[in-house]
Amino acid sequence: MFRFSEKQIEMMIQFADDIKEKIYTPKTPLNIEGYTTKEPLHFDRKTEGEKKTFKPGDKWGDVFDCCWFHITGDVPEDCKDKHTVLLIDFNGEACVFDNHGNPQRGLTNGSSSFCFSLGQPGKRVLQLSNDAKQTGKIDIWIDAGCNDLFGTLCKDGRIEQADIAVCRDDIRDLYYDYWTIRELMQVLDKDSARYARASRALYEAMVILHNFDEDEVKRARDLLSKELSRKSLDPCLKVSAVGHAHMDLAWLWPIRETFRKAARTFSTVLDLMGRYPEYIFGASQPQLYQWVKDEYPNLYSKIKEKVAEGRWELQGGMWVESDTNLPSGESLIRQFVYGKTFYREEFGLDVRNLWLPDVFGYSASLPQIMKTCGVDYFMTQKLSWNDTNKFPHHTFYWKGLDGTAVLSHMLPEETYNSNAGPQSIAKSEKNYAQKAVSDRCLMLFGIGDGGGGPGAEHLEKLKRLKNLSGLPPVKQEFSSDFFEHLNQDSANYPQWHGELYLEKHRGTYTSQAETKKYNRMLELRLRDLEFLATVAMQNGWDYPQERLDEIWKEVLLYQFHDILPGSSIKRVYDECLERYELLLQEVQQLTRDALKSLSENKNGRFDASSNDIAVFNTLSWKRSEWVQTKYGWLKAEVEPMGFRCFKKSEIIEESFPLKAERKLLENELIRLEFSEDGRLISAYDKQAGFETIHEGSKGNTLDVYTDNGDAWDILEDYQKLPSESFKLESSSASLSGPKAILEQTYSYGNSNLTQKIVLTHDSKRIDFNTEVDWHENSKMLRTKFPLNVFSHFATCDIQFGNLRRPTHTNTSWDKAMLEVCAHKFVDISQKDRGAAILNDCKYGYNLFGNVIDINLLRSTSFPGKEADQGKHSFTYSLLPHKGDLMQGGVAEAASELNSPLIINEDCPIHSESGNSLSFFDIESETAVLETVKKAQEGSEVVLRLYESAGGSSEAKLKSAFEIENACLTNALEEEICELKSSSQEINLSFRPWEIKTIKLKLE
Ligand SMILES: [Zn+2]
């Protein structure tokens, strides 16, 4: 049998490049003038920068510098009857504007650090405007950034090219014909007739082409067209393709650059849609659309037209493509509330999918959150990045913590940057795990991560791949159409229960600690504010809806999957930490305003009282805690979601039965002993009669490990490398009211650490209030507590519930969970007793055997330089308890650590019912009232509750306000049914882990 030799095949492969080179012939250089600045300027201010004249080879900037280039020239006479184009490459990203300041087309440098195996990122070809075609005059403005798609300075920021050129359309067509068959050959069975024919056609075309005159090109194309017209007649699989440009809202570039990336990417999409009538594109993230609306209104209106025409798909119901490990449950819901509301208000469309192709693992709470937010479908590909186990499904039902199932699809090509060639399609077919039960899979084509999107080459290839024998047919269509088709064959899809744990990027639970701390604080202080503002609203206060919406949206922006996880450059954190602080101050001021309004009788329910102190409890259970007021210590017993007022005379000045010594802290419930080096060697629960620390072990070890990873990843075997610990320098014990305090100072390397270990009268909770001045590189600070408890699993706090994780390495799946994400607590319990570690801003844990090991700080240098250097303060607590975590009140204690009682000494309030009141109360063993807020629309009050223990629960919701009407809604506050209520009570039934949203009309 005849076969081409390897050398011949190599020549055939290489020959595509020879064809490509002949498509464009530069004719004359353009004139380049530029106005450079450090930060971007609006089109109206384009000439405010430093003016310079440039030519190719000249350096025009350093990374992230900006320039408005003014490009002029005359089309040569001999080009006027030919297809004339401009070839422009500034070794940076750029966007061409029209004379009215509207983006027309993006340009990307060919030297980009994008992975070329996924396609060619370069976009240098610019078609002439109609005006330029008529007059022969080139006069355009281009807004450029001296960074490539990945925030890198390329070729020292020198201008690569700016030419008027002629395009040979016939050679361009020939190139894509040839390239398509060449790629097809690489995926065909070498013994197939199809391969033999295709390779023969390719070879003969190569032989014909010498001068590339029109006749040669036509003959070569005729030969190739025979092979391109062969069809697949009854395919088992079809590929749905949609144009895509994964756009990180910040990552290796600051947020400000993303505004411009959007203009470049989206104007390119619109330009190509004009030239390719079948082109379908989609983009997620309402935040991105909002930026385009604000910055480039004309571009935005053109996008709206394409959405209306059905060629531009709105994707992903979340406000941004958020991380889902770290944000609170309420945050995840608000991502959908603001995301879906934006789409509905701006476009009149309901987006019913969750679009998270690049997020680092998916919380077990998500399926229920999605469904209650009107989202039916989930798209990702990230689990293909697992470092240990291959995720077994591509089309499957993902069943979350409560059993809610969501139809999910993982791109079988394992990338959201498909180059849309035969190899991509063949890979999709080869990999697709559900091809026996599903005839459809999804492909996202285009350049992404830093935007860019599809180029003409993607669309030229797809034109030839609609139905090509040897490959599944490809159809450009909306992902929503794809999902609806997928849903039709749903009976045979497999299921996956629980979280979608990503076996990678485990460092992101800890990296950039301050960002995580601010996110936690804002989530919780917004919660307090919304509740107190809702109550104050009943007293005539203006609920600050508009500001709350704006603050929430900014908090949600920073939950983007490269910001909150810690994987962005330093500038991103410098900027967002500054904003976080301002937002927090504003939230605190609004909270004080709301509290003040409660003591100002505007229209009746509450007014000032003759008391001295008011203490507010924002949690939905009764609390009894010691609080320090300016008058002294007070034991405050406060109603659920309510307040109690006190007089100065109630201040307690007694002494407490506490002991504090250098190696001992003790109250009536617990006795703590410390070793010479400061570690906790005993925590004896006197009440329950058991020791909490494992015999012979030390707790609170303050270990420092080698951590050569980057912001994403910690070394798998860091525990096997030599480690050191912070060394105790001094310790002193003291008593302060109902607190016994052991203050320890430690040092390690260039770093210092101070801990106040606090035991309170009447409490078993041991707080480790920690201040660290951290100046290490490639080190990780952790502390561990070996517990005297036996269990095969630990229980981790997650959004709206908790999740059991293995404390062993039986299977490769268990072993891969070497670091897990948990929110406010992790608990290990046996039947009769247990212990938990609570925290106020930490998320990364290693759970093995009887040990809870918490990741406190890292010190990576990529992508964010000097990450986590400097001062940190945080608290974690040890809570020994009797019974399991429910009986031990672990979740309540963790919430109490995070939401302290609010003391208001300036404006105590009075209500008709006296000095104490619960505004809202949920009578139930396990149902929790998580959120109280004003409805997004109207003056009703919205309450969000959930069942917190995985059981069925009957609950009675009580309101201090008269209920005129109550209804059950979804999380978007859309009514499902009316609820029966008496004037101040509603009976509710919960299934395990159920989230409920109800809307109350109060009198
Ligand atoms: Zn991303």
Distance in Å, CA 864 to ligand 1 centroid? 16
Q: What pLDDT shows up at residue 603?
A: 59
Distance in Å, CA 416 to ligand 1 centroid? 10
Distance in Å, CA 151 to ligand 1 centroid? 14
Q: pLDDT by residue (tens digit) across 462-498? A: 999 999 999 999 999 999 999 999 999 888 999 999 9
pLDDT band at 760 (very low <50, low <70, confident <90, very high): very high
Distance CA 24, CA 260 (A): 28
Distance in Å, CA 68 to ligand 1 centroid? 28
pLDDT at 766 over 70: yes
Q: pLDDT by residue (tens digit) across 838-891? A: 999 999 999 999 999 999 999 999 999 999 999 999 999 999 999 999 999 999
Q: What pLDDT shows up at residue 604?
A: 54
Distance in Å, CA 359 to ligand 1 centroid? 7
pLDDT at 145 over 70: yes
Q: What is the DSSP letter of 385?
A: G
Closest by Cα among 522, 543, 557 to 937: 543
Cα atoms found within 13 Å of the Cα of residue 772, Cβ hemisphere only: 26
CB under 8 Å to 714, separation ≥6 — which residues? 506, 507, 707, 780, 819, 855, 858
pLDDT at 537 over 90: yes
Distance in Å, CA 772 to ligand 1 centroid? 32
pLDDT band at 270 (very low <50, low <70, confident <90, very high): very high
pLDDT at 377 over 70: yes
Sheet of strand 93-97, all strands in order from the earlier edge strand to the far edge: 50-54, 31-37, 66-74, 137-145, 93-97, 103-108
Q: Is cis: bond before 863, omega within 30 of 0?
A: yes
Q: Which residues surround ligand 1, an ion (CB under 5 A)?
A: 248, 358
User: What distance, in Å, lies between the first and last C-alpha atoms of the chain?
Assistant: 90
Q: At what angle do helices 169-187 and 456-464 cross, to 10 degrees?
A: 60
Distance in Å, CA 248 to ligand 1 centroid? 5
Q: What pLDDT shows up at residue 605?
A: 63
Q: Are 84 and 75 in contact (CB under 8 A)?
A: yes
Identify the three-state secondary structure at position 291: helix
Per-chain mean pLDDT for the chain: 96
Distance in Å, CA 72 to ligand 1 centroid? 37
Instruction: Calculate mean pLDDT across residues 782-792.
Output: 98
Distance in Å, CA 845 to ligand 1 centroid? 24
Q: What pLDDT shows up at residue 38?
A: 98
SS3 content of the chain, % helix, strand, coil (to 5): 30, 35, 40
Distance in Å, CA 246 to ligand 1 centroid? 6
Q: What pLDDT shows up at residue 230?
A: 97
Q: What pLDDT shows up at residue 389?
A: 98
Distance CA 320, CA 559 (A): 8
Distance in Å, CA 358 to ligand 1 centroid? 5
Distance in Å, CA 242 to ligand 1 centroid? 18
- Helices (H) and strands (E) in the chain — how many of each? 18, 56
Distance in Å, CA 254 to ligand 1 centroid? 14
pLDDT band at 919 (very low <50, low <70, confident <90, very high): very high
Q: pLDDT by residue (tens digit) across 886-913? A: 999 999 999 999 999 999 887 677 666 6
Q: pLDDT by residue (tens digit) across 405-455? A: 999 999 999 999 999 999 999 999 999 999 999 999 999 999 999 999 999
Distance in Å, CA 877 to ligand 1 centroid? 34
Distance in Å, CA 294 to ligand 1 centroid? 23
b/e string for 295-333 if b means 16 or more Cβ within 10 A? bbeebbebbeebbeeebbbbbbbbbbbbbbbbbbbbbbb
b/e string for 433-444 if b means 16 or more Cβ within 10 A? bbbeebbbbbbb
H or E stretch covering 20: helix 6-21
pLDDT at 2 over 90: no
- Cα 332 from chain centre: 10
Q: pLDDT by residue (tens digit) across 942-964? A: 999 999 999 999 999 999 999 99
Instruction: Calculate mean pLDDT across residues 646-666.
Output: 91
Distance CA 860, CA 776 (A): 9
Distance in Å, CA 387 to ligand 1 centroid? 18
pLDDT at 186 over 90: yes
Closest by Cα among 199, 128, 194, 134 to 164: 128
* H runs (alpha helix) in 145-192: 169-187
Distance in Å, CA 878 to ligand 1 centroid? 36
Distance CA 766, CA 677 (A): 18
- Cα 17 from chain centre: 40
pLDDT at 1 over 60: no
Distance in Å, CA 493 to ligand 1 centroid? 28
Instruction: Calculate mean pLDDT across residues 577-599.
Output: 95
Distance in Å, CA 356 to ligand 1 centroid? 9
Distance CA 923, CA 920 (A): 10
pLDDT band at 599 (very low <50, low <70, confident <90, very high): confident
Cα 311 to Cα 264, 290, 758, distances in angstroms: 18, 20, 61
Q: Which two tokens stand for residue 868?
A: 């986590």
Distance in Å, CA 514 to ligand 1 centroid? 21
Distance in Å, CA 249 to ligand 1 centroid? 8
Q: pLDDT by residue (tens digit) across 969-984? A: 999 999 999 999 888 9
**Global pTM exceeds 0.95:** yes
DSSP assignment string, 66-103: EEEEEEEEE--GGGTTS-EEEEEE-SSEEEEE-TTS-E
Distance in Å, CA 449 to ligand 1 centroid? 5
Burial class (CB in 10 A: 0-12, 13-18, 19+), 55: exposed
Distance in Å, CA 295 to ligand 1 centroid? 22
Q: What pLDDT shows up at residue 652?
A: 78
Lowest mean pLDDT among 81-90, 109-118, 318-327, 777-786: 109-118
Q: pLDDT by residue (tens digit) across 34-65? A: 999 999 999 999 999 999 999 999 999 999 99
Distance in Å, CA 852 to ligand 1 centroid? 31
Closest by Cα among 612, 536, 638 to 899: 638
Name the percent of the chain lying above pLDDT 70. 98
